[in-house]
Chain A
Amino acid sequence: MAMDFGRSAKKEPQIPTSSMGDIVFLLLIFFMVTTVFRKETGLPVELPRAEAGEEAQRELVSNIYIDRVGRISVDDRLVQPKHIRDLFKQKAAENPLLIVAFKTDTYTPYGVVSDVMEGLKEANAVRVLFQSDIEINPGTKY
C-alpha cells in the first residue's frame, strides 16, 4: 500500500489538452454568432460626396439624420426641429467634446438643416460634422 502511494506521488498529473482547440473554437463561434453590433436605424439618406472629408472619433459623435422630405431623426426617434435645442443641451452637458454629425440627404432643402443648426447653437453644441461619402470621381460636382 505504502509503495502505491509513493508511486502515484512521483507521477506527474496529466491534464488532457486535446480538446482545448475544440473548446476555443466553440467559444469563438458562440461569440461570433451572438454578437450584435448596435446600429442606429436612422433614416435612409444619400450622403453628399466630398474630397476634403476629415475623420472624427466615433465615440464623440452623435448623429442627426435628415431625409429628403425633411424628417429629422435623433437616437432612433423622429424629432421636431424645435426640440433639437433641449435634446442637445443635455448631450452637450454630458460630453463637452461632442461632435454632431449631420447625416443629411443631398436633396434636403437647406432650410431644415439651418433650423437644426440654430437649435444647436442655442444648445452650445457647436462642433458639427457634415458627413460625406468619399468622392469617387473628382470634378463631377453636384
Chain B
Amino acid sequence: MAVMKKKKKLGSMGEVNTSATADISFLLLIFFIVSTIFAEEQGLIMLLPGKKDTQDDVVKVKESNVATIRVGYDNSLTLDRKPVVINQVKSLIEARILANDKTVVVLETHPDAHYGKMVAVLDELKLANARKLTLKTTKR
C-alpha cells in the first residue's frame, strides 16, 4: 500500500495556483505608476524686464535706495565699491533691506566673470529675500 501511494504521487503533476498572478502583476504595475516621479527642473527663477517700447517704462530709482553688487572680471565681489566675501552677502543685504525696504539690489556682472559666481551671488540674494533684483552687465 505504501509503495503504491508513493508511485501515484510522483506520477501526478504538482499544480501551482496561478489564478492570483494577474492580480499580483496588476498590483505591481499600479504601484510603479503611482510611485514614479519625474525629475523636476530646479533653479533660480527670475523675471527679465522684457522689451521697452517707450521711455516711460523705465523706472527711476533713487541712488540711496540702490545696493550694487559687482562681480569683477576676476570674480571678485564688491558691494557699493567695498570688497566683500560671498558668505557676507546674505547678511549685508538682509541688513540693507531691513533698514530700507525700498532697497533695489543691482547685480552687475563683468562679461569675463564666471557664470557660477553670478549664480552664487544670486542664490545668496534669494536667501536674503531680496525681491527687487536687477541683473546688469558691465560694459566692456
Q: Which residues of chain B in 9-53 are interfacial with respect to chain A, using CB atoms and an 8 Å cutoff?
A: 18-22, 24-26, 28-29, 38-51
Which of B21, B114, B124 is in CB contact (< 8 Å) with A21? Answer: B21
Contacts of A66 in B (CB 8 A): 115
Q: Which residues of chain B in 81-106 are interfacial with respect to chain A, using CB atoms and an 8 Å cutoff?
A: 86-87
Over the window 26-58 of chain A, the binary record of Cβ atoms lying under 8 Å from chain B Cβ atoms (1 yes, 0 no) is 001000000000000000000010111111111
A110 to B70, CA, bound (A): 12
Most chain A CB inside 10 Å of its own CB: which residue of B25, B26, B38, B127: B25
Most chain A CB inside 10 Å of its own CB: which residue of B26, B87, B115, B123: B115
A124 to B29, CA, bound (A): 43
A80 to B93, CA, bound (A): 36
Interface of A is mostly: mixed
A52 and chain B: residue at smallest CB distance: B126
Residue tally, chain A, CB below 8 Å to B: 53
Given contacts A55-B40, A109-B111, is CB(A25)–CB(B120) below 8 Å?
no
- B80 interface residue (CB < 8 Å to A): no
A81 to B38, CA, bound (A): 31
B41 and A131: CB pair below 8 A? yes
Contacts of A107 in B (CB 8 A): 114-116
A21 to B115, CA, bound (A): 54
B120 and A141: CB pair below 8 A? yes
Which of B21, B45, B113 is in CB contact (< 8 Å) with A20? Answer: B21
Interface on B for A, CB 8 Å cutoff?
Answer: 18-22, 24-26, 28-29, 38-51, 71, 86-87, 109-120, 122-124, 126-127, 135, 137
Q: 10 shortest A-B CB distances, which residue pairs?
A: A21-B21, A111-B111, A106-B116, A52-B126, A131-B43, A50-B123, A48-B119, A114-B137, A48-B116, A20-B22
25 contacting pairs across A/B (C-beta < 8 A): A21-B18, A21-B21, A21-B24, A24-B26, A28-B25, A48-B116, A50-B43, A54-B44, A55-B42, A56-B40, A106-B116, A107-B114, A107-B115, A110-B110, A110-B111, A111-B137, A112-B115, A114-B109, A114-B137, A121-B49, A127-B46, A133-B42, A141-B87, A142-B116, A142-B120
